[in-house]
């Protein structure tokens, strides 16, 4: 007997679907857990910078650590092999503040990548 022919499974499936539609869960017909505004706010502003002087994981950590202390920064990923630093923040950052953070770590901010 398959699920399609078993009434108790059909009832459970229908009940779960009705519950998700009523609560707006991830299983809702729209296929989304969040409204667009919440998703945009969670994503933030992503900016890529070019930094010179990074050669290893320690360098990446030093640059990431200093930039992550700036107000509004939610994540930082530095890649020594490319010199790229990707920063996600709640709002656009002041480039002078980013430059000062990179300088404090002992490296040089070239500018936006």
Length of the chain in residues, anyone? 113
Question: How distant is the alpha carbon of residue 110 from its chain centre?
Answer: 24
Contact call for residues 94 and 86 (beta carbons, < 8 A) = no
Q: Using DSSP, state whether 88 is helix, strand or coil.
A: strand
Spell out the residues 6+ positions from residue 29 whose beta carbon is closer than 8 angstroms to its own. 21
Q: For the segment 33-63, what is each residue's pLDDT rounded down to a tens digit?
A: 444 444 444 579 999 999 999 999 999 999 9
Residues 16-40: what's their mean pLDDT? 43
pTM for the full model?
A: 0.64
């Amino acid at each position: 007997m398959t699920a399609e022919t078993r009434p108790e499974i059909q009832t459970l499936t229908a009940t779960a679907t009705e519950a998700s539609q009523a609560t707006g869960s991830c299983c809702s017909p729209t296929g989304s857990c969040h409204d667009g505004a919440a998703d945009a706010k969670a994503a933030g502003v992503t900016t890529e910078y070019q930094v010179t002087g990074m050669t290893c994981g320690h360098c990446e950590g030093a640059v990431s650590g200093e930039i992550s202390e700036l107000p509004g920064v939610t994540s930082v990923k530095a890649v020594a092999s490319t010199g790229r630093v990707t920063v996600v923040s709640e709002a656009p950052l002041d480039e002078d503040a980013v430059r000062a953070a990179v300088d404090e770590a002992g490296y040089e901010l070239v500018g936006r990548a």
